[in-house]
Amino acid sequence: MRFNIGEIEINNTDLLKCLNSIKEAVKQGTFGYICVTNVRTAYLANQNPDYLRIQNSSLMTVPDGMPLVWYAQRTGYKNVGRVSGTDLMNALFAVSPAEQYSHYFYGSTEDTLKKLSANISAKYPGIILKKCVSPPFQPVADINVEELAAELNLLKPTFFWAGLGAPKQEYLADRLQPLLTGTICIGVGLSFEYLAGTVKRAPQWAQRAGLEWMFRMIQQPEKIKRIVLPFFWFLQIWLQSFFIREIRS
């Protein structure tokens, strides 16, 4: 089941339910891509029909960011919880040795990937890391998707993690996933940097208060323009929710 924020459809889920759904998908051989969606990407999807199609055609589109969770709960979806890219990665890494899941990382810098793989290997002994790739900075249209898919189908990682930032990582997943035979693509934005320790994540109190974006803007003030329009768009959506009368179970 999904709920709508504007036209985008987001799964009625939380971290544990999401983890169990992914485990079941792997068990059943249901391979698709997963979108980790926040206010900014929800806004972008509502402005761009092609990006909306990608989000709504996913295996799962999960709510990353407390504002989306609050909106879902406000409109009757009481059991929705936050599923951030970093938390989802850690949850899947934790079960990977027992489930024999394997991982392929695509994005960021060579230095970040080295620190990422070292940290993950130390924290989750026995985890299988197939490959880490720092691709050249280029548009998705210039990525040799067929070549990348051929390598993934040879290595057969359970998960292809794209740390390219949105919406680029979702556009790549949309082109790549149909060519894959046994891999789930997940775009996780800045999570590579968080897990590598090259960018500090907001403390738990800020995450719970929905202020992680503010913590990030303090570290990366040059990106403040990216959140202005999404903020006002979501504020309008939030105010409209007060007029929603139907309570969903």
pLDDT in tens, 179-189: 999 999 999 99
Residue 200 has what pLDDT?
A: 78
Residue 88 maps to a domain: yes
The amino acid present at 53, given as its one-letter code, is: R
Residue 248 maps to a domain: no
Residue 148 maps to a domain: yes
Domain count, the chain: 1
- Provide mean pLDDT across the span 95-114: 98
Range of the domain at 64: 2-241
- Whether the per-residue pLDDT at 247 is higher than 50: the answer is no
Residue 249 maps to a domain: no
Residue 77 maps to a domain: yes
- pTM to 2 decimals? 0.92
Residue 83 maps to a domain: yes
pLDDT in tens, 22-65: 999 999 999 999 999 999 999 999 999 999 999 999 999 999 98
